[in-house]
């Protein structure tokens, strides 16, 4: 017990040293770089090869993972709780432990985090980044293992097209909300689905000049390339919101993120097995015809409407 007390007291003394203050400043700058504007510069803070949440990554791979974090959760924020760092010297390096408070997709959570930092050539570099061993939460979507799975899933569902009108092919994919295991059975029933955080889906484009499009209240979806509908030279994007008894089509202008039409709602318990062409047709320059389910005199019918696009 006395040995532990002396160790803690020494740790407090070390934390007030000039060297530890420099470490503190470095970690604060690293933490402050976790924003959409600054994330692109995080690579500079890492050694060429690091241990990153239990796996070996190059600093380029770390940068790619940080970029993917903000692609998946554009509103992600993190801060060091109470600005409290515990700095311990270990074999010439510094072990820095702290509690990270994160916010993403409507979720707030705290994680026991650490960095192992080396001072080399008069600059600090990160050797290791991870969570304390008792934090068995690496399946959370903000950590690289789970995010890599989302990336692989997204690759299978890429929709290709010229969404910004530069005559080059790019792609879009959807980041869906996380649904806890116990709530997945509700997807195929009329029961309200409970998501972890906000139950919204985000359309993300490979061309970063195009802003992500958030569609609220959607947990299951499918994309369609609708080609150029409004004569702006870019393909429009269709987004299906898939529910147990309905399918709703949204038509977006990817260049502006504006909703051009929709939701076009189909009652799939009555109007079954309809394809895209049954619901949506381009019928002239800047003109589309849509079909949707409507209840008239107590009966469900399929109605059509012509829409002129600006």
Query: What's the pLDDT band for 13 if we cut at 50, 70, 90?
Result: very low
**Do 254 and 142 have their domain in common?**
no
Residue 209 has pLDDT above 80, yes or no: yes
Residue 151 lies in a domain: no
The fraction of the chain above a pLDDT of 90, given in percent, is 41
Nearest to 61, CA basis, from 148, 137, 121: 148
Query: Residue 144 contacts by C-beta under 8 Å, 6 or more apart in sequence?
Result: 52, 53, 55, 57, 65
Residue 46 has pLDDT above 80, yes or no: yes
Nearest to 225, CA basis, from 143, 177, 305, 282: 282
Are 199 and 218 a contacting pair, CB within 8 Å? yes
- How is residue 302 written in tokens? 């399929």
**Do 85 and 136 have their domain in common?**
yes
Which of 99, 125, 146 marks a domain boundary? 146
Which of 120, 146, 172 marks a domain boundary? 146
Distance, in Å, from the CA atom of 307 to the CA atom of 40, rounded to the nearest integer, reads 42
**Do 208 and 304 have their domain in common?**
yes
**Do 170 and 297 have their domain in common?**
yes
Q: Which helix (H) or strand (E) segment is 56 a member of? A: strand 55-58
Query: Residue 189 contacts by C-beta under 8 Å, 6 or more apart in sequence?
Result: 244
Nearest to 80, CA basis, from 113, 128, 45, 42: 113
**Do 50 and 172 have their domain in common?**
no
Give residue 186's pLDDT: 44
Lowest mean pLDDT among 144-148, 149-153, 190-194, 237-241: 149-153
**Do 141 and 244 have their domain in common?**
no
Beta bridge partners of 249: 240, 264
**Do 169 and 298 have their domain in common?**
yes
CATH number of residue 64's parent domain: 3.10.450.50
Residue 300 lies in a domain: yes
**Do 197 and 275 have their domain in common?**
yes
* pLDDT tens, residue by residue, 272-309: 878 888 888 888 888 899 999 999 999 999 999 998 88
**DSSP assigned state of 296:** E
Are 118 and 46 a contacting pair, CB within 8 Å? no
Q: What is the mean pLDDT of residues 55-72?
A: 85
Residue 246 lies in a domain: yes
Measured from the Cβ of residue 195, the count of other Cβ atoms closer than 10 Å reads 18
Lateral strand order in the sheet of 246-253: 221-227, 236-242, 246-253, 258-267
Residue 152 lies in a domain: no
Residue 14 lies in a domain: yes
Residue 15 has pLDDT above 90, yes or no: no
For the chain, the domain total comes to 2
189 vs 303: which has the higher pLDDT: 303
Residue 221 lies in a domain: yes
Residue 134 has pLDDT above 70, yes or no: no
Helix axes 18-32, 2-15, angle to 10 degrees: 70
Residue 257 lies in a domain: yes
**Do 269 and 166 have their domain in common?**
yes
CA 26 to chain centre: 27
Residue 52 lies in a domain: yes
39 vs 134: which has the higher pLDDT: 39
Which of 146, 166, 199 marks a domain boundary? 146
**DSSP assigned state of 129:** E
**Do 169 and 119 have their domain in common?**
no
**Do 60 and 198 have their domain in common?**
no
Distance, in Å, from the CA atom of 34 to the CA atom of 29, rounded to the nearest integer, reads 9
Vertex 137: Cα angle to 134 and 140 (nearest 5):
165
Q: Where are the alpha helices (DSSP H) in 119-191?
A: 144-156
Where do we find the tokens 């006395």?
2
Range of the domain at 62: 2-146
**Do 59 and 161 have their domain in common?**
no
Distance, in Å, from the CA atom of 141 to the CA atom of 139, rounded to the nearest integer, reads 6
């Amino acid at each position: 017990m006395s040995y532990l007390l002396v160790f803690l007291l020494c740790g407090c003394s070390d934390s007030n040293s000039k060297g530890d203050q420099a470490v503190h400043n470095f970690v604060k700058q690293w933490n402050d770089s976790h924003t959409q504007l600054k994330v692109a510069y995080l690579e500079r803070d890492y050694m060429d090869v690091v241990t990153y949440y239990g796996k070996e990554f190059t600093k380029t791979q770390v940068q790619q993972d940080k970029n993917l974090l903000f692609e998946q959760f554009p509103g992600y924020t993190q801060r060091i709780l109470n600005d409290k760092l515990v700095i311990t010297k270990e074999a010439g390096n510094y072990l820095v432990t702290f509690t990270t408070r994160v916010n993403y997709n409507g979720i707030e959570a705290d994680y026991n985090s650490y960095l192992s930092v080396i001072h080399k050539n008069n600059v600090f570099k990160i050797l290791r980044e991870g969570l304390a061993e008792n934090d068995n939460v690496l399946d959370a979507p903000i950590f690289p293992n789970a995010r890599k799975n989302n990336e692989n899933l997204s690759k299978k569902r890429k929709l290709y097209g010229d969404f910004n009108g530069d005559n080059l092919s790019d792609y879009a994919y959807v980041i869906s909300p996380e649904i806890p295991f116990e709530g997945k059975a509700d997807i195929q029933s009329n029961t309200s689905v409970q998501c972890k955080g906000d139950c919204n889906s985000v359309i993300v484009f490979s061309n970063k000049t195009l802003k992500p499009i958030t569609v609220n209240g959607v947990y299951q979806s499918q994309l369609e390339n609708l080609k150029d509908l409004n004569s702006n030279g870019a393909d429009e994007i269709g987004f299906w919101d898939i529910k147990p008894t309905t399918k709703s089509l949204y038509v977006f202008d990817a260049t502006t993120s504006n909703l051009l039409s929709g939701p076009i709602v189909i009652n799939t318990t009555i109007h079954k097995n309809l394809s895209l062409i049954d619901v949506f047709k381009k019928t002239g320059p800047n003109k589309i015809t849509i079909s949707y389910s409507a209840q008239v005199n107590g009966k469900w019918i399929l109605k059509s409407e012509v829409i002129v696009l600006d």
